[in-house]
Amino acid sequence: MDNPGDVDFPQTFLDDLGEVFTGLKLFRLLRNIITSDEVYGSAIKIVQAQQNTLESLELCNGHFLEALCGMEKLRLKWLSCFIDFKSDQHWDIFCRKQQQLEKLLIMAKDYSTICDVAQKLPNLKKLPLDIFSGSITKADFLNEMPNLEKIDINGHLNGLDFRSAASPKLTLFHMVNATAKKLVQYLQKSPNLSVLNIHECVLIGDSEHPARFQNLKELVLSKCKLPPNVLMALCCQNPQLEQLQLRFLSTLTDEMFLKICKEQPRLRFLALVSCALLTDAVGGYIIQHCGSLEKLKISGFTLSEGALAELRERHVRMKRWFWPYPFDPVGGFAAR
């Protein structure tokens, strides 16, 4: 066990764990463990015994809510749970007792579910949100969560409109598998945004927005479709940018990349992965203009021996990238 405060439980260890482990902060209950009422009861006993110190709870379903509502000393900061919000009568009680909750991982099928969560838990700071419905078309529910600092949206969304939404305290935004309308306009209402990670998304309606973020330090664009001027604005107009990852961008050319290098002399980490139009010439651009570079990851083109020697002399750490999955598959960046 790497950390005695974080435990994954096989079934045979459930009995009496509440007595063996004291000061437990995280309890993760895997779906295939709850095989009987007896096992369910053992799990409840563990949570009951550890409620004074427990901060993070990952459950396989919402059947635990009734028991959790009866634990007067339980004060969670993070909950991951599959809940049928409309039919679970204990959800309202749970929310009233857990107003201090900062991070909630949920799966939503309709707009009313997300709005219900937003209204009942306005103090949320982190929202990892899996959406399984194309009927959710507006991001206005974010207005009900003014304290949000980190958002991780994952879902096959066809046209999520951000134009009326605002998250003034946002520092990290991560989105996967969505067509987003006015996303840049929304993000510009977040002056403290420092990390932007967009994967397999289509951005619509942002051509007129300058995409300038004074505090953006890390930008990841992977398999995205966005207007060239928005792409260049994101890459070139953010003066604090230190980490840039460009992956599977079919429209990125040598000329565009040269301009990015000229505009971003502060870059410490650069990743270029399978951008089809880039040629071996990009190595020269990196050598000439990226004087602060400390780490380089590449895939899809070749650096010359001269460029490699120059980078080694500068002590730049280099790696050929063969990772097939272009972003962290466990929790995304919102897991930070």
Per residue of the chain (336 residues), give pLDDT as tens: 344 444 444 445 555 555 566 788 888 876 555 556 667 777 788 888 888 898 988 876 657 788 888 898 989 988 887 666 655 678 888 888 888 888 888 777 777 878 888 888 888 899 888 876 666 788 998 999 999 999 998 876 678 899 999 999 999 999 999 899 999 999 999 999 999 999 999 999 887 766 789 999 999 999 999 999 999 999 999 989 999 999 999 999 999 999 999 999 899 999 999 999 998 899 899 999 999 999 999 888 788 888 888 988 999 998 765 444 444 333 333 333
Asked if 65 and 71 touch (Cβ cutoff 8 Å), the reply is: no
Asked if 81 and 96 touch (Cβ cutoff 8 Å), the reply is: no
Q: Which pTM does this prediction carry?
A: 0.82
* Strand, helix or coil for residue 103: strand
Asked if 109 and 91 touch (Cβ cutoff 8 Å), the reply is: no
123: left (phi over 0), alpha (psi -120 to 50) or beta: alpha
Distance CA 160, CA 31 (A): 31
| Torsion sign, CA atoms 79, 173, 181, 200 | negative
H or E stretch at 247: strand 243-247
